[in-house]
């Protein structure tokens, strides 16, 4: 089990309009309290999204996004990861950092530092970014094309792994009797010279508790899945149980093609469970929440994903079969395959596109277990939004105990690192 969100109020659904339970997204107490609730539920990790530009995809301005608190504002995930490293003891902490914009040396250094600070609980959600505006914030005219971004990221992974290995795990001695702090023979230069990157190394941070952060990946296009099969330990995806089944089948095939055990990646699926004393009450609560979502919000979100202004499109039409994008290709493929009109897709996106599970705690637990088995996935990440602390508490206090009784989730942490949590089941 995991929690996925961002250091900001928005996301796609506009549910910041819900009561904030007295919290303010700008300050650390909210993140720390959410982490403690997740730890109480023995979750594997929390993961923070990131975006590197004020969105402007819809109508060419940030007006909609600012007014709705949608996609922005968003804190940089790295300082939040530092705060959580200190404030928690067990839960894994995953941050999103972009291979297109973070210099490899800086990324290797900051994540190694965080892995030390957290005593081995850091993960890295590897993204290549999808917004041209992000490129312009970093001084480029445009992003490299979709598949090129992954080719560059392949080489990026080589550099950062070389840097993370530049200190052998026993190089750090801190031995007062011999007076030797670190063994210089166990620290190696990297001298990486690739097509896109060069780095001399070594890193200035010793080998971290996990050696390197857990590699997380969310690309779902064929090229993205190939990248995940090459590099990732954990894959996160969203969609219906049917699309998740197809997703896990494809990813496990890619893993075999890459010479890896098809079950050596854990696959987690998005869900937004809502519980009630009866199924009907849960359904009514869901409808009240869904009423925040509008077609316009969804169109604005789609504009960001695809890099196309959707404001002028006819919402009663389906996505044209010949439409191509350089942004989020797997989203576009999903839209086409759904056969839904743009308006229907937009409403779904505005509600976060997470598998909606509603019912009593037992019923929710049944659905989660049955779906995990049917879709051949390993678990779920919840994306309730920062506002919904009380819904997270309900899940942890009412659904997790049912799953624990059935042996589907842990009752205590047995390992101390994120990698140990993920490989326990
Ligand atoms: C659960 C989930 C979380 C994601 N988080 C981010 C994020 O924080 N920042 C980002 O730039 N992309 C994020 N993405 C997008 C993917 O990393 C990737 O860019 C996208 O799937 C496009 O790649 P594809 O065309 O290979 O699917 C996320 C995707 C999913 C499914």
Half-sphere exposure of 286 (CA within 13 A, CB side): 21
Give the confidence band of 210 by pLDDT, cuts at 50, 70, 90: very high
363 CA from centroid of ligand 1 (Å): 30
| Residues whose CB falls within 8 Å of the CB of residue 185, separated by 6 or more in sequence, listed in order | none
127 CA from centroid of ligand 1 (Å): 6
Cβ–Cβ under 8 Å, residues 419 and 45: no
25 CA from centroid of ligand 1 (Å): 22
Give the confidence band of 13 by pLDDT, cuts at 50, 70, 90: low
Is the pLDDT reported for residue 387 higher than 90? no
Is the pLDDT reported for residue 186 higher than 90? yes
Q: Which atom of ligand 1 is nearest to the CA of 131?
A: 11
Residue burial 275-308, b: 16+ Cβ < 10 Å; e: rest: bbeeeeebeeebeebbebbebbbbbbbbbbbbbb
Cβ–Cβ under 8 Å, residues 48 and 385: no
- Backbone φ and ψ of 379, nearest 5°: 175, -165
Give the confidence band of 223 by pLDDT, cuts at 50, 70, 90: very high
High-pLDDT (> 90) share of the chain, % = 80
130 CA from centroid of ligand 1 (Å): 8
What is the per-residue pLDDT for 54? 94
Ligand 1 pocket residues where CB is under 6 Å: 4, 49-51, 96, 127-130, 218-221, 223-224, 236-238, 328-330
Which parts of 73-164 fold into alpha helices (H)? 77-87, 104-117, 132-137, 146-164
Residue bearing tokens 């996925």: 4
What is the per-residue pLDDT for 329? 85
Q: Which strand (E) or helix (H) includes residue 350?
A: helix 342-350
Q: Beta strands of 318-408 (E only): which ranges?
A: 358-359, 379-382
Is the pLDDT reported for residue 311 higher than 80? yes
| Residues whose CB falls within 8 Å of the CB of residue 322, separated by 6 or more in sequence, listed in order | none
Question: CB count, 10 Å around CB of 121?
Answer: 32
What is the per-residue pLDDT for 19? 64
For atom 6 of ligand 1, the residue with the nearest CA is 49
Ligand 1 pocket test, pick from 4, 49, 78 with the greatest ligand atom count within 8 Å of Cβ, gives 49
- Beta-ladder partners of 193: 198
Average pLDDT, stretch 272-301?
89
What is the per-residue pLDDT for 149? 96
Q: 23-32, 55-64, 395-404 — which one is most confidently predicted on average?
A: 395-404
Ligand 1 pocket test, pick from 48, 71, 78, 127 with the greatest ligand atom count within 8 Å of Cβ, gives 127
Pairing, β 180-182 against β 172-175: antiparallel
176 CA from centroid of ligand 1 (Å): 47
Average pLDDT of the residues of the chain? 93
What is the per-residue pLDDT for 40? 98
For atom 7 of ligand 1, the residue with the nearest CA is 49
* CA-angle at 407, arms to 405 and 409, nearest 5°: 100
Using CA atoms, how far apart are residues 152 and 361, in angstroms rounded to an integer? 45
Read off the DSSP letter of residue 48.
E
Q: Which atom of ligand 1 is nearest to the CA of 236?
A: 1
What is the per-residue pLDDT for 137? 96
pLDDT in tens, 131-173: 889 999 999 999 999 999 999 999 999 999 999 999 999 999 9
For atom 3 of ligand 1, the residue with the nearest CA is 218
- Beta-ladder partners of 46: 3, 93
Is the pLDDT reported for residue 82 higher than 60? yes
Residue 43, class by beta-carbon neighbours within 10 Å (0-12 exposed, 13-18 middle, 19+ buried)? Answer: buried
Q: Which atom of ligand 1 is nearest to the CA of 49?
A: 8
What is the maximum span of the chain, computed from C-alpha positions, in angstroms? 76
For atom 22 of ligand 1, the residue with the nearest CA is 328
Is the bond leading into 73 cis (omega within 30 degrees of zero)?
yes
Which residue, among 351, 287, 301, 288, has the nearest Cα to 19 in the 3D structure?
A: 288
- Backbone φ and ψ of 48, nearest 5°: -110, 130
81 CA from centroid of ligand 1 (Å): 19
The string of DSSP letters for 146-180 reads HHHHHHHHHHHHHHHHHHHTSB-TT-EEEETTTTE
Is the pLDDT reported for residue 221 higher than 70? yes
12 CA from centroid of ligand 1 (Å): 14
218 CA from centroid of ligand 1 (Å): 5
Reduced to 3 states (helix: H, G, I; strand: E, B; else coil), residue 193 is: strand
For atom 8 of ligand 1, the residue with the nearest CA is 49
What is the per-residue pLDDT for 353? 65
Ligand 1 pocket test, pick from 102, 130, 240, 382 with the greatest ligand atom count within 8 Å of Cβ, gives 130
Q: Which strand (E) or helix (H) includes residue 323?
A: none
Half-sphere exposure of 320 (CA within 13 A, CB side): 7
């Amino acid at each position: 089990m995991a929690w996925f969100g961002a250091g900001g109020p928005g996301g796609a659904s506009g549910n910041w309009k819900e009561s904030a339970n007295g919290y303010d997204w700008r300050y650390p107490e909210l993140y720390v309290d959410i982490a403690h609730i997740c730890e109480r539920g023995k979750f594997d990790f929390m993961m923070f999204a990131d975006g590197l530009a004020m969105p402007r995809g819809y109508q060419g301005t940030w007006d909609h996004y600012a007014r709705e608190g949608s996609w922005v504002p968003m804190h940089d995930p790295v300082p939040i990861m530092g705060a959580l490293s200190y404030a928690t003891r067990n839960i894994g902490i995953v941050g999103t950092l972009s291979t297109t914009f973070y210099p490899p040396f800086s990324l290797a250094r900051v994540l190694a530092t965080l892995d030390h600070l957290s005593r081995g609980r850091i993960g890295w959600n590897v993204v290549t970014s999808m917004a041209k505006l992000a490129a312009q914030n970093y001084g480029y005219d445009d992003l490299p094309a979709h598949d090129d971004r992954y080719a560059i990221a392949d080489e990026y992974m080589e550099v950062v792994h070389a840097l993370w290995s530049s200190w052998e795990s026993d190089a750090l001695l801190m031995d007062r009797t011999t007076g030797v702090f670190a063994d210089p023979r166990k620290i190696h230069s990297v001298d990486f010279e690739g097509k896109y990157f060069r780095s001399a190394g070594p890193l200035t941070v010793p080998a971290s508790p996990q050696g390197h952060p857990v590699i997380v990946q969310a690309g779902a296009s064929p090229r993205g899945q190939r990248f995940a099969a090459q590099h990732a330990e954990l894959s996160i995806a969203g969609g219906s149980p049917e699309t998740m089944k197809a997703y896990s089948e494809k990813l496990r095939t890619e893993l075999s093609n890459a010479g890896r055990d098809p079950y050596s990646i854990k696959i987690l699926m998005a869900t937004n469970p809502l519980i009630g004393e009866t199924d009907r009450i849960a359904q009514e609560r869901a409808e009240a929440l869904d009423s925040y979502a509008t077609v316009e919000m969804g169109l604005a979100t789609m504009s960001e994903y695809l890099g196309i202004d959707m404001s002028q499109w006819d919402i009663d039409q389906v996505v044209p079969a010949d439409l191509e994008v350089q942004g989020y290709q797997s989203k576009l493929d999903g839209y086409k395959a759904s056969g839904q009109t743009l308006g229907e897709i937009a409403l779904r996106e505005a509600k976060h596109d997470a598998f909606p599970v509603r019912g009593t705690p037992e019923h929710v637990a049944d659905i989660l277990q049955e779906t995990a088995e049917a879709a051949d996935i390993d678990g779920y990440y919840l994306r309730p939004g920062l506002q919904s602390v009380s819904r997270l508490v309900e899940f942890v206090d009412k659904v997790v105990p049912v799953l624990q009784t059935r042996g589907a989730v842990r009752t205590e942490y047995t390992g101390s690192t994120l990698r140990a949590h993920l490989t326990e089941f």
